[in-house]
Amino acid sequence: MKAVVLGGTGGMGRAVARKLAERGDEIFLMGRDAGDLARSAADLEARQPKNARVAYAVCDLEKPEGFAAALDEADRALGGFDTVVVTAGMFATQEALEADVELTRRLLTVNYTNTVVFCEHARKRLLERGGGQLTVFSSVAGDRGRKPVALYGSSKAGLSHYLEALDHKFHAKGLSVLCVKPGFVKTGMTAGLKPPPFAGEPDDVAKHVVRAMVARKPLLYTPAIWALVMLVIRWLPRFVMRRIGF
Amino acid sequence: MAEAILSAWGRLALPGVELLGENLESLSLGTTLSRGMGRSYGDSSLPARGTDRVVSTRLANRILAFDARTGVVRAEAGLSLVELNRLFVPRGFFPPVTPGTKFVTLGGMVASDVHGKNHHREGCFGAHVRSLRMRLADDSIVTCSPTEHADLFHATIGGMGLLGHILEVEFTLHRIPSPWIFMESERVRDIDEFLAALGRAAPRWPMTMGWIDCLQRGRSMGRGILMAGRWAEPHEAPKEPPRAAAELTFPVELPDWALNPTTASLFNTAYYWRHTQQRVETIVAPEPFFYPLDAILHWNRVYGPRGFTQYQCVLPRAAGPAAVRAFMELLTRLGGASPLCVIKDCGPEGEGLLSFPLEGTSIAVDMAISPDIQRIVDRLNEFVIAAGGRIYLTKDRFTRPEHFRAMEPRLERFFAVREKWDPHRRLRSAQSVRLFGDRA
Ligand SMILES: Cc1cc2nc3c(=O)[nH]c(=O)nc-3n(C[C@H](O)[C@H](O)[C@H](O)COP(=O)(O)OP(=O)(O)OC[C@H]3O[C@@H](n4cnc5c(N)ncnc54)[C@H](O)[C@@H]3O)c2cc1C
Ligand SMILES: NC(=O)c1ccc[n+]([C@@H]2O[C@H](COP(=O)([O-])OP(=O)(O)OC[C@H]3O[C@@H](n4cnc5c(N)ncnc54)[C@H](OP(=O)(O)O)[C@@H]3O)[C@@H](O)[C@H]2O)c1
């Protein structure tokens, strides 16, 4: 693969980028801090069996005006990418979001509007060259409207919706779209929170995700147990949802 | 603000706030201590106060540079040995020094100045460190090395995190001829024979260590198995690389009484006699050779909720074999010992100001926490002081400050360097409160 990874400096994105590098895939990193990108690029270079260079460009999901240029740079560095992975995203607790409408606006914009805009830029390029693979991290939080993640969850719900439709629309044209729905995973994003049962590790998630990418799956719950958990939650009647604090 | 309880390997748990993240530079600002994987047994990785914020380095694990010609690596302090070995053993490199577990971080290896089976040849890990990037108590960031801020460098090596947060470590990996170990193991009848056998093995083998059945008294006291090894040459080694070992997890916490003198003694006897031949030569994978205990995750649950400690001391060569024998006698008399007792001959003292090893014999023994534990540690410490030896801080939780002072002539020098870089002793741990009188 020749893969662009937006969000590959940290968390699950770092783990996915490492898995790809160790497989010998070529990687182009995107993120919002040049220094951090340089360090992550060095890390991936050291992990690559072929010692190939890993290039990068600054791309901030809060600055959609930079998306096209960053993807152009990726195209140049990789000689045309065929895979795009987006793990970058924002999280804040429901409490923090309710207390700060501006934070809410930012989070909704980053996680939904701008992520979709980035994907639109990326999928057009992929379709022009006959297709490819687009993997985007949504969340189990988008599956049902739930009290503790009302706002964050709604941004992911919109994103999941878009990704499903994208898969339907362009699958036949060679674009495979994978919507990843992680449950709780122990990364910097969740560092302040108490891990629930079935909390996952980024490395295990990455293994799972790369396998799903290769198999060209459209949807992945990860860690796998969350597929079951969410099956139950998706079928919970509304009056039950209202009662429980979940 | 992850768990409100932090724990160390001996299952000591104290209130504390752990900050987990990828960016050590920002995390370490204004915090009092860093910790890695919490594999130190005692209180060295735990905060001085429950409200102190301690940096957890585990996610700061990037390799920043690697030169395949020289083996020089620079990496963030949270990189673990598990990961380092996974990446570099297949490419023909191995850390110059490894402790008996791979679940440690580079930062922890520097802060404890860990030693391994090759101490008599290679010294401690610190001897192979080229430079450190650190966040200091005044929040500045500096790079130190044997030539740049050498005092800071040498106090940090083995300094148990008290000089600053280690952000990055640059050190040299060693080339290995194959990913396999040529091992010779030998059954040894008693402690005197053990010391002689270790002495004979040292010039012949780059790696040596021994397991002692420390529950035996009388004539068989100190019997055990001596293990010596070297990296196998390509023509001796299997063609295939070793397979990754299956990971087993110790599933439940055993009750306190599960490990008792009877079960421990049964285990030891079985372990000793499993070695049916006097001497065996084999080719083994590095995992069981270096990290036998890592095969079972969470093995510390064997000790139950009471937890355990490890007593590790080194007795100087000058004190002679008689001192080692007397120590073993004292140990068996005091009781409390468990199946895990390891003996190793150490090479000369390194440059780390509080680095543990000195030329002599190191003995490490796990002990379940019992109402008697303070008395046992006190008695052992009194013996060690009289013999001119010392204990290993990364294992310790019960040594009294006056005992530590008595065994550590280098302590004043360490304090002087600490005074220069951290005059207000902002960086501190539960251990430094206990041993050095830092404020809680
Ligand atoms: C089964 C087992 C076998 C072992 N065998 C050996 C052995 O053979 N030889 C040996 O020498 N040791 C041995 N040890 C001890 C172990 O190697 C040390 O305790 C090591 O320091 C643990 O590393 P860690 O990353 O878990 O550090 P922690 O336990 O988290 O911390 C240990 C100390 O290092 C400091 N520290 C950690 N990271 C940083 C940082 N980034 N900056 C500043 N300070 C930091 C902490 O403050 C603390 O004082 C063994 C331990 C176990 C559990
Ligand atoms: N962790 C979980 O439990 C969990 C559960 C469900 C879904 N998810 C989703 O999974 C994805 C990955 O989560 P994670 O836990 O790996 O997160 P993480 O550890 O916070 O990592 C996120 C990565 O995205 C980057 N990023 C953040 N904001 C950005 C922006 N505006 N522009 C560009 N890059 C940005 C971060 O870079 P910086 O270092 O610059 O911040 C970082 O590299 C996210 O979309 C998250 O919502 C996570």
- Going by C-alpha positions, the residue among B201, B222, B236 that lies closest to residue B118 is B201
Query: Which of A42, A51, A188 faces B22 most closely, judged by CB atoms?
Result: A188
The Å distance, Cα A155 to ligand 1 centre, comes to 42
A80-94, B163-177, B247-261: the lowest-pLDDT one: B247-261
pLDDT for residue B1: 42
Q: Which residues contact A69 (CB under 8 A, 6 or more apart)?
A: A57
Outline where B38-132 has alpha helix (H).
81-88, 106-111, 119-122
State how far the Cα of B209 lies from the Cα of B197, in Å rounded to an integer.
Answer: 10
pLDDT for residue B302: 80
B63 and A188: CB-CB below 8 Å?
Answer: no
A9 and B68: CB-CB below 8 Å?
Answer: no
pLDDT at B195 exceeding the cut of 60 = yes
Q: Which residues contact A244 (CB under 8 A, 6 or more apart)?
A: none
What residue of B is the nearest CA neighbor of A33? Answer: B23
pLDDT at B52 exceeding the cut of 50 = yes
Q: Which of B25, B55, B59 to mutate to test the interface with A (most CBs of A within 10 A)?
A: B59
Q: Whose CA is nearest to atom 39 of ligand 1?
A: B107
List the Cα angle B396/B398/B401 in 5-degree steps: 95
Domain B63-176 has CATH 3.30.465.10: yes
Torsion angle of alpha carbons A214, A215, A217, A220, nearest 10°? Answer: -70
| Per-residue pLDDT tens over the stretch B304-325 | 888 889 999 999 999 999 999 9
pLDDT at B206 exceeding the cut of 50 = yes
The Å distance, Cα B37 to ligand 1 centre, comes to 7
B377 to chain A, closest Cα gap in Å? 37
Cβ contacts of B87 on chain A, cutoff 8 Å: 46-47
Q: Which of A43, A50, A201 to mutate to test the interface with B (most CBs of B within 10 A)?
A: A43
- Across chain B, mean pLDDT equals 93
A9 lines ligand 2 (CB under 6 A): yes
Split at pLDDT 50, 70, 90, the class of B214 is confident
Domain segments of chain B as ranges: 5-56, 63-176, 181-405
pLDDT for residue A50: 79
CB B355 within 8 Å of CB B124: yes
Q: Which atom of ligand 2 is nearest to the CA of A188?
A: 19
pLDDT at B277 exceeding the cut of 90 = no
CB B165 within 8 Å of CB B187: no
State how far the Cα of A38 lies from the Cα of A43, in Å rounded to an integer.
Answer: 9
Chain A, chain B: beta-carbon pairs less than 8 Å apart: 40
pLDDT for residue B2: 44
What residue of A is the nearest CA neighbor of B91? Answer: A49
| Per-residue pLDDT tens over the stretch B67-103 | 999 999 999 999 999 999 999 999 999 999 999 999 9
A60 lines ligand 2 (CB under 6 A): yes
Domain segments of chain A as ranges: 2-243
- Within 13 A of B196's CA, how many CA atoms are on the CB side? 8
State how far the Cα of B435 lies from the Cα of A40, in Å rounded to an integer.
Answer: 39
State how far the Cα of B263 lies from the Cα of B49, in Å rounded to an integer.
Answer: 38
State how far the Cα of A142 lies from the Cα of A149, in Å rounded to an integer.
Answer: 9
ipTM given for this complex: 0.94
Q: pTM for the complete prediction?
A: 0.95
pLDDT at B257 exceeding the cut of 50 = yes
Cβ contacts of B64 on chain A, cutoff 8 Å: 39, 42-43, 46
pLDDT-above-90 percentage for chain B:
77
Split at pLDDT 50, 70, 90, the class of B303 is confident
For residue A86, the cross-strand partners are A6, A136
Query: Which of A43, A188, A192 faces B64 most closely, judged by CB atoms?
Result: A43
pLDDT for residue B278: 82
For residue B229, the cross-strand partners are B183, B207
pLDDT-above-70 percentage for chain B:
99
Cβ contacts of A36 on chain B, cutoff 8 Å: 23
| Tens digits of pLDDT across chain A (246 residues) | 999 999 999 999 999 999 999 999 999 999 999 999 999 999 999 998 777 899 999 999 999 999 999 999 999 999 999 999 999 999 999 999 999 999 999 999 999 999 999 999 999 999 999 999 999 999 999 999 999 999 999 999 999 999 999 999 999 999 999 999 999 999 999 988 888 888 999 999 999 999 999 999 999 999 999 999 999 999 999 888 888 776
State how far the Cα of B311 lies from the Cα of B395, in Å rounded to an integer.
Answer: 7
pLDDT for residue B388: 98
Q: Which residue did the predictor score with more confidence, B290 or B215?
A: B290
CB A21 within 8 Å of CB A47: yes
Architecture of domain A2-243 in CATH?
Answer: 3-Layer(aba) Sandwich (3.40)
B20 and A14: CB-CB below 8 Å?
Answer: no
Q: Which residues does B contribute to its contact with A (CB < 8 Å)?
A: 1-3, 19-23, 59, 62-66, 68, 73, 76, 87
Would an 8 Å CB–CB cutoff place A48 in contact with chain B? Answer: no
A136 to chain B, closest Cα gap in Å? 22
Helix A115-128 vs helix A150-170: crossing angle, to nearest 10? 10
| Per-residue pLDDT tens over the stretch B375-414 | 999 999 999 999 999 999 999 999 999 999 999 999 999 9
CATH number of B181-405: 3.30.70.2520
**Average of per-residue pLDDT across B204-222:** 89
